[in-house]
């Protein structure tokens, strides 16, 4: 069943050195559209300095993801948009300026329009994406009309002017070199509207465009390959071209004999360089040189924080408008499925009207043209009034096109429209999940498997925000309770959880109907400088949110320090790279599902770090009632993993623990035999008890409980002994 999907790389999660590796100019974008059109009926790409967004109408987003792999493995920076409503909301929020580097900026609407023009030129736009994009542009206009979110927006032109002022340049006494004639035209216009300038140079790959712009602003046009003759003469250089410039981009500036690099050492006056280009026009190494001040897009992002504060109060209003427009478009999206029936019904009525008028008019005698027109208007009004209610009902029924005894088929029969052929899903299944990249990826992978069982079902992903997403991880079921509430109330039909996140308490009315085949249970280490665990420096700081990991890491290396860390993968990696941590520990399974296992610098064995209870498994939860959802989900269940993970949870329950206790367990089922290893420790990790038990898999509850009681007794005994020895001292 086709749907709107997408994938995006943006400034929110990707630094500029990553974005510039995936920057597409118009020619490259057109080639990408042509390539992707081979696998999708409709494709649309937004390529700007701050984002690369790919949208398509097709079965899933995998084709978009595969295309981006041509650039390398940048999975950790990508945002997946695996379902229609998620993709719609992302584009509408982008058009509203809510996803921009400078919140509320106006330029993005024009960029979306330009991207639409490019896609139409390549004939990759169809009715679905065309309507979505036009509605997105409307949303962007409405947000700026009904809120003040764009009033304090810091455009690139504004930031450029502010930087010039901050560095004490008076334009009437300064010379300015602008590289690029596209978006740079707006910057030049803004600057020259505010002040006169001593001397202006415009450089471009296209000398005609440079000349046209230079003539308009009283400047001098130069060719890109002549830049080296001018850069030492000017005070301010602004780069903003997507074309290859190689301006001051030598790898080793100090050893370079190139005039373009050496000017920095010979210039007697300070210089200001502002780089709006992507890829960057200037070597970032120039920031270290005395006398040079260089700013790129990431530097500008930090500068726009003050204007963001001014717009902060407008964000909820803008978000509300986006939600309203998303709902409207979603309504159109589902109504459109019934459009062949509506169109056929309307044509049928029109034919009846024309037929009856052809019968009536000859019998009315001599009629004036005005009388004939009046009769035609009357008949048209009559048809509209007669059809009004049926049309409304058909619209309503289009939301339930997945029903087994589909009402739309009844409508077809009632109005004699059996010949109209429309795709009717057998059932619709709404799948609840968190909105994190990992959760969406896991959920989509589950859905793809379920489709193999029931290819005629329609699966809709519904993102539900949890306490854990808001940073409140101390709440019981931080990542699951909100989803479970949606399941109980019928908002969703099934939920996909990371099994290790599920609390041990059962929710009345819900049932774990299936457990996925277990992925790799090991933990991995990602280090700032690429070291393995035992190569980390003495006293290295390792980030983890798990007591289980902290205690076992200390057992392996007593010298290391552990520091609490939370957040999604991108956040944790960012915190590490910014200097708070030397390394972080994550689950192999999640990283691997994201296609990012190559970023792991070390992999622990399950014996080195015994995993969390149910680590590596996904749990599919449904309402505890018979029906097609239960029948579908049961087909997904992997029996050996179910027994093993249920045994681990029994071990956890017997110890009275939850996911924040220093407890670990790993069970394996082989040839109907179960072996479970367990760890139970004191809160401070000073006493650690490890053991294992085995037996018939059918007796997993007793085996798990027996091991738990054994380790609990052992811990109590060791604790008493430690207290006694401490008292004796």
* Residue that has been written with the tokens 């200001």 in this structure: 272
Residue corresponding to tokens 């994201």: 594
Instruction: Detail the DSSP E strand segments found in 393-503.
Output: 427-433, 457-463, 494-498
* Cβ within 8 Å of residue 562, ≥6 positions away: 541, 542, 543, 544, 549, 550, 553, 554
CB 575 within 8 A of CB 542: no
For helices 84-95 and 127-146, the axis angle rounded to 10 degrees is: 40
Q: Residue 115 has which token pair? A: 């991207």
3-state helix, strand, coil in the chain (%, to 5): 50, 20, 30
Q: What is the DSSP letter of 505?
A: S
Question: Which has the closest alpha carbon to 9: 49, 57, 66, 62?
Answer: 49
d(CA 518, CA 657): 22
- Residue 684 has what DSSP assignment? T
What residues contact residue 256 under an 8 Å CB cut-off, 6+ apart? 250, 262
**Closest by CA position to 353, among listed 335, 376, 334, 370:** 376
Report the distance separating Cα 208 and Cα 212, nearest Å. 6
d(CA 138, CA 258): 50
In contact, 222 and 144? CB cutoff 8 Å? no
Please choose, from the candidates 460, 481, 316, 474, the residue with its C-alpha nearest in 3D space to the C-alpha of residue 401: 460
CA distance 106 to 96: 8
**How remote is the C-alpha of 575 from its chain's centroid?**
19
Nearest Cα to Cα of residue 328 among 94, 490, 136, 144: 136
First-to-last CA distance in the chain?
73
> What is residue 662's DSSP assignment?
S
Single out the residue of 292, 246, 285 nearest to residue 269, CA to CA.
292
Which residues are within 8 A (CB) of 435 and not within 5 positions of it... i.e. 6 or more apart?
86, 463, 464, 465, 469
Beta partners for residue 563, in sequence order: 543
Based on the residue annotation, tell me whether 631 is a catalytic residue of this protein: no
CB 670 within 8 A of CB 693: no
Which listed residue (501, 523, 582, 602) is catalytic?
A: 501
What is the DSSP secondary structure assignment for residue 576, as one 8-state letter? I
The CA distances from residue 37 to 33, 123, 298, 724, in Å, are: 6, 9, 33, 74
Q: Is the bond preceding residue 279 a cis peptide, omega within 30 degrees?
A: yes
- Residues serving a catalytic function are 501
């Amino acid at each position: 069943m086709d749907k709107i999907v997408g994938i995006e790389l943006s400034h929110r999660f990707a630094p500029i050195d990553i974005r510039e590796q995936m920057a597409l100019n118009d020619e490259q974008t057109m080639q990408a559209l042509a390539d992707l059109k081979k696998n999708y009926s409709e494709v649309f790409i937004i390529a700007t300095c701050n984002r690369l967004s790919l949208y398509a109408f097709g079965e899933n987003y995998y084709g978009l993801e595969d295309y981006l792999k041509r650039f390398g493995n940048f999975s950790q920076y990508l945002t997946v948009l695996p379902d229609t409503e998620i993709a719609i909301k992302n584009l509408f929020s982008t058009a509203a300026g809510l996803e921009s580097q400078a919140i509320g900026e106006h330029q993005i609407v024009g960029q979306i329009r330009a991207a639409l023009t490019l896609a139409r030129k390549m004939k990759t736009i169809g009715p679905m994406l065309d309507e979505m994009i036009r509605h997105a542009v409307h949303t962007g206009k409405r947000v700026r009309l009904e809120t003040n979110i764009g009033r304090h927006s810091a455009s690139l032109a504004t930031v450029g002017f502010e930087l010039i002022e901050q560095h004490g340049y008076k334009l009437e006494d300064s010379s300015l070199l602008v590289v690029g004639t596209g978006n740079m035209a707006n910057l030049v216009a803004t600057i020259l509207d505010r002040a006169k300038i001593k001397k202006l140079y415009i450089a471009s790959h296209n000398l005609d465009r440079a000349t046209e712009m230079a003539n308009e602003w009283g400047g001098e046009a130069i060719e890109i390959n002549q830049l080296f003759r001018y850069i030492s003469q000017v005070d301010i250089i602004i780069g903003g071209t997507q074309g290859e410039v190689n301006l001051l981009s030598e790898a080793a500036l100090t050893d370079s004999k190139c005039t373009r690099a050496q000017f920095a050492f010979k210039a007697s006056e300070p210089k200001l360089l502002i780089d709006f280009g992507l890829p960057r026009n200037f070597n970032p190494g120039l920031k270290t040189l005395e006398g040079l001040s260089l700013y790129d897009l990431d530097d500008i992002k930090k500068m726009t924080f003050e204007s963001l504060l001014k717009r902060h109060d407008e964000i909820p209003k803008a978000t509300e408008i986006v939600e309203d427009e998303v709902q409207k478009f979603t309504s159109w999206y589902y109504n459109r499925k019934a459009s062949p029936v509506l169109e056929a019904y309307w044509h049928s009525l029109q034919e009846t009207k024309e037929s009856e008028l052809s019968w009536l008019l000859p019998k009315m005698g001599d009629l004036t043209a005005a009388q004939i027109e009046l009769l035609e208007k009357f008949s048209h009004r009559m048809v509209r009034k007669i059809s009004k209610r049926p049309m409304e009902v058909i619209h309503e029924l289009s939301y339930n096109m997945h029903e087994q005894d589909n009402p739309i088929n009844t409508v077809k029969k009632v109005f004699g429209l059996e010949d109209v052929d429309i795709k009717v899903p057998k059932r619709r299944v709404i799948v609840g999940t968190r909105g994190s990249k990992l959760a969406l990826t896991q959920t989509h992978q589950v859905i793809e498997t379920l489709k193999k069982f029931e290819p005629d079902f329609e699966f809709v992903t519904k993102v539900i925000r949890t306490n854990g997403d808001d940073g409140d991880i101390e709440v019981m079921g931080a990542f699951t309770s909100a989803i479970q509430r949606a399941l109980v109330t019928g908002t969703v039909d099934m939920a996909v959880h990371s099994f290790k996140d599920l609390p041990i308490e059962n929710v009345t009315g819900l049932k774990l109907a299936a457990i996925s085949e277990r992925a790799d249970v090991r933990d991995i280490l990602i280090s700032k400088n690429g070291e393995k665990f035992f190569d980390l420096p003495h006293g290295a700081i390792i980030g983890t949110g798990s007591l289980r990991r902290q205690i076992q890491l200390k057992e392996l290396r007593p010298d290391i320090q552990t520091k609490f860390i939370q957040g999604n993968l991108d956040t944790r990696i960012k915190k590490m790279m910014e200097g708070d941590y030397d390394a972080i520990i994550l689950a192999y399974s999640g990283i691997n599902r994201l296609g990012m296992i190559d970023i792991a610098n070390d992999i622990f064995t399950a014996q080195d770090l015994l995993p969390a209870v149910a680590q590596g498994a996904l749990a599919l939860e449904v309402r505890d009632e018979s029906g097609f959802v239960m029948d579908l989900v049961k087909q997904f269940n992997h029996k050996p993993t179910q027994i093993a993970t249920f045994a681990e949870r029994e071990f956890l329950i017997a110890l009275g623990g939850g996911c924040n206790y220093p407890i670990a367990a790993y069970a394996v089922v082989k040839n109907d035999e179960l072996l479970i290893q367990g760890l139970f420790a004191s809160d401070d990790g000073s006493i650690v008890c490890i053991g294992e038990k085995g037996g018939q898999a059918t007796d997993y509850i007793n085996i798990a409980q027996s091991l738990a009681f054994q380790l609990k007794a052992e811990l109590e005994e060791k604790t008493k002994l430690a207290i006694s020895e401490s008292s004796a001292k």
